[in-house]
A and B are shown apart, each in its own frame.
Chain A
Amino acid sequence: MTPSNDSTITLSVAGMTCGSCEMLVERSLKNIPGVLSVHAKQRKGRVVLHIDPDHPPSMDAITQAVTKAGYEIHDGTSAPPHKTAHESNKPRYMEIGAALVIIFALYKLAQTFDLASLAPSTAGSLTFGGVLLIGLVAGSSSCLAVTGGLLLAMAAKHNQIHQAESSSQKLRPLIQFNVGRLVSYFVLGGIVGLIGTAITLPIWTTAYLNIGVALVMLYLALTILGIIPKGAFPIRPPKALSHWISNLTEHDHPLAPIALGALTFFLPCGFTQSLQLAALASGGFAPGAMSMGVLAIGTLPALLGISFISSSARGSFSRIFLTFAGTLVFVLALFNLRSGFALAGFSVSLPAQQAVEATSENAVRLPVITGYEQEVRMKVTAYGYEPPELTIKSGVPVRFIIDGTQAGGCTQGFVIPSLGIQKVLQPGDNIIEFTPEKPGRIAFSCSMGMVRGAFNVL
């Protein structure tokens, strides 16, 4: 302990692990004669006392009070905080690494068994049974990456803050999220049917929405894993924004999870978009509301599964759950971030992806020039675009024919952000016409930015 100047004393106190500890220490010390105010900082293991310089408190009384409260005073402020006391708040890199390995292995496994397809077959007529099936598939595939990731992030964060709550209490916000989602799908689906226009936001909005969701997830993942302390941003966005994010994700107000769930309607998921078309074709509130509502119900099993698992996590399993969920959310956040950037028109390719592009034979395939226009063909497959890279000439009108026969779910939405082109692919040939003005690259992707490709303009 060191009197840094006449009126303050800084103590190094070990054993404080939570907010309650801080308050307990503060309460124990503030009634000692001569102590004017106490400020305990659990994370630093420090307690700062403001004292009356004329009547300083007795050190014995301070030591006694801290010991009685169940904590220990270290001599010298430079002493490192007690290790065991702080372990629970330190990022557990070993566990995070293990979780990463498991997630990667699971992904590879899913890929081997053809489960990681971005465009699971959703062929079939749009009966409510068919829509329900689409929902089931959507809920357990690409859409899960965003909506499920968001839910998981929320659940893990809630568990971390409210460790003490019972399972049913932990489940409450997650149910609210799903209710919000269900209601918004139902109502907005009905509106789509009524007004006969699909509610799609401009590409740039969905791009920033995607990036926004990804950043929220990234922030949550990093705080869950303890890599950045709660409330601290490595990059400092405007205070209002960070407050808004943390309020929305950590606030106990029941409207927050409901709003977050409702917001998922606007995530540019191909499943949602293609069903919006069906809803608007239905031409009425009730059928539109029914088909969108049924879609949301279809996604429920997967989302509720996440909810139940995360809310029933207890004891040491709860800690493992937090680490695993945090890592998974982190990975999904990066995935979504990349998708968001692709939608915003930045062509972000990872080295691995470029290698694939370079080896595909299409890199040299030149367009067929017929008269005054050039024709390029591309096929949508369950694994992406074939070919993913197309070569065209500048100044010549392009007739871009996309074979959408195998397009399903996510890949049904097709966007060329820089040209402002947004299309829902139909089975068979889909034609997009435009004229590239100058050489360079024109990126395109599915509506979520998950499947990507580009024109190489010569």
Chain B
Amino acid sequence: MQTTVSIPGIHCDACGKLIKSVSGDFPEITDIAVNLTTKTVTLTHADDFALDDWTKEIEGLGETYKVQRLS
């Protein structure tokens, strides 16, 4: 299953790495792709993945990170 979210606060490579690093704490996530140009993150994950928890973790990193679900 795939979920794509938009995080407008992404502005550099470090942001992408940071998001990947946080995602590492979620074993349900099997793959993650961060697109710096479109500021989107595509997650490949198991069905029982809790997007809300992940969103909470990401938004907790800083106030510029706001997760908007695209698909």
Q: Which residues of A contact B (CB under 8 A)?
A: 16-21, 23-24, 27-28, 69-70, 161-166, 169, 252
Contact = CB atoms under 8 A, between A and B. Distances in A.
8 contacts: A17-B14, A19-B62, A20-B18, A21-B14, A24-B18, A161-B64, A164-B39, A164-B64
Given A70-B13, A164-B8, A164-B11, 16 more contacts: A16-B14, A19-B64, A20-B14, A20-B15, A20-B62, A21-B14, A23-B61, A23-B62, A24-B14, A27-B22, A162-B9, A163-B11, A164-B10, A164-B39, A164-B64, A166-B39
Contacts of B9: 162, 164
B21 interface: yes
Contacts of B18: 20, 23-24, 27
Contacts of A24: 14, 17-18, 21
B interface, how many residues as a size bin? 10 to 19
B12 interface: yes
Nearest to A162: B64
Nearest to A27: B21
Contacts of A165: 8
Nearest to B21: A27
Contacts of A162: 8-9, 64
A23 to B, nearest CB: 6
Contacts of B39: 164, 166
A69 B8 CA distance: 22
Interface string B38-71: 0100000000000000000000011110000000
Interface of B: 8-15, 17-18, 21-22, 39, 61-64
Most buried by A among B12, B14, B64: B14
Contacts of B61: 20, 23
A164 B10 CA distance: 6
A23 B17 CA distance: 10
B8 A166 contact: yes
A366 to B, nearest CB: 66
A165 B66 CA distance: 11
A286 to B, nearest CB: 42
A16 B22 CA distance: 18
Contacts of A16: 14
A69 B22 CA distance: 13
Report, nearest first, the 7 A-B pairs whose CB atoms are least far apart.
A164-B11, A20-B14, A21-B14, A20-B15, A24-B18, A163-B11, A20-B18
Nearest to A69: B17
Contacts of A70: 13-14, 17
Contacts of A164: 8-11, 39, 64
Nearest to A25: B14
Most buried by B among A17, A19, A169: A19
A169 B8 contact: yes
Contacts of B11: 18, 20, 163-164
Most buried by B among A18, A161, A166: A18
B11 to A, nearest CB: 4
Nearest to B15: A20
A383 to B, nearest CB: 47
Nearest to A70: B17
Nearest to B11: A164
A262 B62 CA distance: 30
Contacts of B63: 252
Contact of A18 (B14, B21, B22): B14
Contacts of B15: 18, 20
B67 to A, nearest CB: 13
Contacts of B14: 16-18, 20-21, 24, 70
Contacts of A27: 18, 21-22
A270 B42 CA distance: 55
B14 to A, nearest CB: 4
A17 B12 contact: yes
A18 B15 CA distance: 9
B6 to A, nearest CB: 10
Contacts of A17: 12, 14
A239 B57 CA distance: 31
Contact of B12 (A18, A161, A169, A252): A18
Contacts of B62: 19-20, 23
A229 to B, nearest CB: 18
